[in-house]
Amino acid sequence: MYAIASTTKLYPTYILSDESAQSQLEIVPERGGLVTHWRVGDREILYFDAERFANPEQSVRGGIPILFPICGNLPDNTYTYDGKSYNLKQHGFARDLPWTVGESNTDRHASLTLELASSPQTRAVYPFDFHLAFTYRLQGNSLEIIQRYTNPSDEQILPFSCGLHPYFNVPDKSQLRFNLPSKQYWDQLDGTLHDFDNQFNFDREEIDVAFTQLNSHTASVYDRKRGLTLNLEYSIPFSTLVFWAVQGKDYYCLEPWSAPRNALNTGDRLIHVHPRSSLEMLVRLDVQLD
């Protein structure tokens, strides 16, 4: 049996549930369309910093933030379009703006669609019209995030990169085992290229690496301590996986991006949606329990 309920905590919150699988998803549209919690049985899959969430002046750390219209940061937070410079902060603005609630469904799954459209506020930093529709679909131990990027303009091409920034809960990173689809990564802290053998050095204070040459559209992480495997699938044009972890924090991030950092300036793998057209993309997360 599938259900969608609503409640008010700090903000109006929608709770999607699959009773037979004992899985539950919480979404807060007003805070960037953020997924704040995802539980499978008695396991909390996501890390969530409630204290930072309670302060709207701070960026959220936890859940599944949405990255649009850029992933990562720009040099000096600046890009140039049509001879004019604009400022965009790291990861763009979608994760900070209120989204509106659209359609819902509890027939063969529990799903909720959230929408975000361009406005005078967004055009001041990103001079393009857009309409985003994200459908969160919960079924069993799986979460699908179906993303539709629409260009409502009659003339102007819509350029962007996009991604998700999920924070996964982990009490002991030394117990993680990785199967990631790349043999090399770029260290985003110092710009160096390294070979990768599916291991990370968690003695480092911070790990921030980008896998930009992927050989498949799947990745997985096994947490031996929790007896839990996380499987990640992503559609084209997702082309980059970012792994981020901070020493002493009970999370790791495995982030599907459509392009590397600074794509709005370099054009590297930048998405272009033509006028009156849409692009649909998919990220699927699946949890297997021992």
pLDDT digits (tens, 9 = 90+) for 6-39: 999 899 999 999 999 999 999 999 999 999 999 9
3-state secondary structure of 174: helix
pLDDT digits (tens, 9 = 90+) for 161-180: 999 999 999 999 999 999 99
Are 34 and 63 in contact, with CB atoms under 8 Å apart? yes
pLDDT digits (tens, 9 = 90+) for 174-218: 999 999 999 999 999 999 999 999 999 999 999 999 999 999 999
- How deeply is 75 buried, as exposed, middle or buried, from its count of CB atoms within 10 A (0-12, 13-18, 19+)? exposed
CA dist., res. 227 & res. 148, Å (int): 34
Are 126 and 97 in contact, with CB atoms under 8 Å apart? no
The enclosing H or E element of 52 equals helix 50-53
Q: Letter for the amino acid at 247?
A: Q
Nearby residues of 62 by Cβ (< 8 Å), 6 or more positions away: 36, 46, 47, 48, 49, 50, 52, 53, 167, 251
Locate tokens 């070979």: which residue?
A: 195
Nearest 5°: phi and psi at 100? -100, 155
Res 160 pLDDT > 90: yes
Q: What angle do CA 86, 89, 33 make, to 5 degrees?
A: 120
Question: What is the model's pTM?
Answer: 0.97
